Amino acid sequence: MKPSPLVRELTSIAGLDAVLWRAEDLMLYEYDALSSLRAPDAVVFPTSAEHVVRIVRLAAKENVPVIARGAGTGLSGGAVVTEGGIVVSFARMKKIVEIDIENERARVQPGVVNLDLSLAVADYGYYFVPDPSSQKACTIGGNVAENSGGPHTLAYGVTTNHVLGLEVVLADGTVIHTGAKFPDRSGYDVTGLLVGSEGTMGIVTEATVRLTRRPEAAKTMLAIYSAVGDATRTVAAITARGITPAALEMMDGFTLRAVEEATHAGYPMDSAAVLLIEVEGLREAVDEQADEIETVCRENCAREVRRARTEEERDLLWKGRKNAFGALGRISPAFYVQDGVIPRTRLPEMLEHIEQAGRKYNLVIGNIFHAGDGNLHPLLMFDNRDPEQSRRVLKAAGEILAKCVEMGGALTGEHGVGIEKNELMPLLFSADDLDMMRKLKAVFNPTGMLNPGKVLPTGKMCGELRVQVSSGGAAPN
């Protein structure tokens, strides 16, 4: 088999060792952590923005789709190929271009791994706040595309709150620069528009991001409950006191037992739920806040509240939380993780609905989520080799998301829309809303060649997806 003319042109742009085109190589790029649809026509690994410009111009000339890809850890199908085309992988564009501690910012290429940026500035006493569970693998470019979150976004916000500017290649090869080296630049917030657009408006080739000074002190607490309802009521009670923890996570008994068996993080095997709570700031304020939170937890029937006494204990508690998806992969052939948002005051009601959905469709559903901001992650256990189980999982997941919207919530908190939720967008937006989004997208991507089939409805229902989240799962790439 000989390479196609398209592959030969891509090779002339990026180099002989920078293009994949054989079927056995392309198979690896058929899927992300959500699903598998079809293989691309080619995968190319640029090393510069100039390469990306030339690739996009070639694609425009040949009328071929372009799909930008980070680490492929996304959970909504954002990097999945729907119509063939060229996958632009940023695995080789992983330079930290500049660290400017004085102005608390850094310039990075899109392939920089999330955690690597924090490690690079740790000696200065700084870090990059957004911390998806997959932060050891996911990339800054993917975080920008999906507007990723993480446990500590309750206090600090999601990715968009930490991006100051972008270098972006548009569908015709035009390069634009948005934002500035400082916050609050005058004019339209084009940076905010592009963050979370999932590669449908442009391809990010560089990001200027905010660095945050590490707090003087942090306290990590584990509140243990004999009833799930007591834990959910505690979440609302903490925020009602005017307390905003840096993180407020919840796991139900089924999930925490799987996590404990895998990670030995110190979670109690006999509890119905736990809250993992972290407060940060000045040492005196942190101690006072931790005392107040403990009081609230005990008032809401926490049977025990533990505080990590050492950095090692704190790291172990977070290791359990960060590796929860992988832990569940040990006990089920596959699981499908959802990403809905509801008002936190309605957590008890929503968890009851999730339990009912499990009974209705004969599914085991575990719950682990960012309780403080109502960002739910129900995990639906199933065998993806069984078409009937796969069908039931998709039905249950759709009903859960519809209930989130009915409760005044949203379809996604951090994983993005992709191909997973695009047909559900009319639940949240009117026809006029969606029409305006299409017009806005067309300004940047008039031919629709950039990441087609994502975010906006296409008329193909999610049941046509081959859901295959298995033995791991991850946060956005």
CATH number for the domain harbouring residue 231:
3.30.70.2190
pLDDT value of position 185: 75
Q: Is the pLDDT of residue 54 over 70?
A: yes
Same domain, 262 and 318: yes
Q: Which of 38, 70, 89 is the last residue of a domain?
A: 89
Same domain, 236 and 341: no
User: Using 50, 70 and 90 to split pLDDT, how confident is the model at 460?
Assistant: low
CATH code: domain of residue 362: 3.30.70.2740
Residue 100 lies in a domain: yes
Q: Which of 213, 245, 279 is the last residue of a domain?
A: 213
Scan for tokens 């920008």, then name that residue. 144
Q: Which of 393, 412, 431 is the last residue of a domain?
A: 412
CA dist 183 and 192 (Å) reads: 12
Q: 167-202: per-residue pLDDT in tens? A: 999 999 999 999 977 776 788 999 999 999 999 999
CA dist 409 and 402 (Å) reads: 9
Q: 32-52: per-residue pLDDT in tens? A: 887 777 899 999 999 999 999
Alpha carbon of 27 to those of 20, 42, 273, 427: distances in Å? 10, 11, 40, 34
pLDDT value of position 387: 93
The DSSP call for residue 168 is E
Same domain, 230 and 273: yes
Same domain, 232 and 277: yes
Rounded mean pLDDT, 350-373: 96
Q: Which of 143-152, 284-293, 369-378, 463-472 has the lowest mean pLDDT?
A: 463-472
With contact defined as beta carbons under 8 Å apart, do 152 and 129 qualify?
yes
Scan for tokens 């005017």, then name that residue. 242
CATH code: domain of residue 79: 3.30.43.10
CA dist 249 and 242 (Å) reads: 17
Same domain, 121 and 140: yes
Q: 197-206: per-residue pLDDT in tens? A: 999 999 999 9
CA dist 171 and 400 (Å) reads: 36
Same domain, 309 and 345: no
* Beta strand pairing call for 86-89 and 42-44: parallel
User: Using 50, 70 and 90 to split pLDDT, how confident is the model at 97?
Assistant: very high
Domain with 222 in it: 217-323
Residue 455 lies in a domain: no
Residue 448 lies in a domain: no
Radius of gyration for the chain, computed over Cα atoms and rounded to the nearest angstrom: 22
Same domain, 101 and 208: yes
Residue 437 lies in a domain: no
Same domain, 142 and 205: yes
If we measure between CA atoms, which residue out of 83, 95, 100, 77 comes closest to residue 31? 77
Look up residue 379 and give its two tokens: 């995990």
With contact defined as beta carbons under 8 Å apart, do 210 and 162 qualify?
yes
pLDDT value of position 476: 39
CATH code: domain of residue 181: 3.30.465.10
User: Using 50, 70 and 90 to split pLDDT, how confident is the model at 31?
Assistant: confident
More confident residue, 1 or 344: 344
CA dist 449 and 46 (Å) reads: 19
User: Using 50, 70 and 90 to split pLDDT, how confident is the model at 329?
Assistant: confident
Q: What is the pTM of this model?
A: 0.93
Residue 103 lies in a domain: yes
If we measure between CA atoms, which residue out of 373, 453, 456, 446 comes closest to residue 414? 373
Same domain, 203 and 101: yes
pLDDT value of position 36: 74
How many domains is the chain partitioned into structurally?
4
Residue 465 lies in a domain: no
Residue 66 lies in a domain: yes
With contact defined as beta carbons under 8 Å apart, do 414 and 389 qualify?
no
Residue 445 lies in a domain: no
Scan for tokens 């972008």, then name that residue. 166
If we measure between CA atoms, which residue out of 79, 191, 86, 176 comes closest to residue 144? 191
Alpha carbon of 428 to those of 63, 104, 158, 201, 376: distances in Å? 32, 37, 21, 21, 17
Same domain, 119 and 180: yes
Same domain, 175 and 236: no
CA dist 74 and 58 (Å) reads: 27
User: Using 50, 70 and 90 to split pLDDT, how confident is the model at 462?
Assistant: very low
Same domain, 191 and 296: no
Phi first, then psi, for residue 204 (nearest 5°) are: -75, 125
Q: Is the pLDDT of residue 464 over 70?
A: no
Element counts in the chain: helices (H) and strands (E): 15, 20
Scan for tokens 């564009």, then name that residue. 93
CA dist 358 and 360 (Å) reads: 6
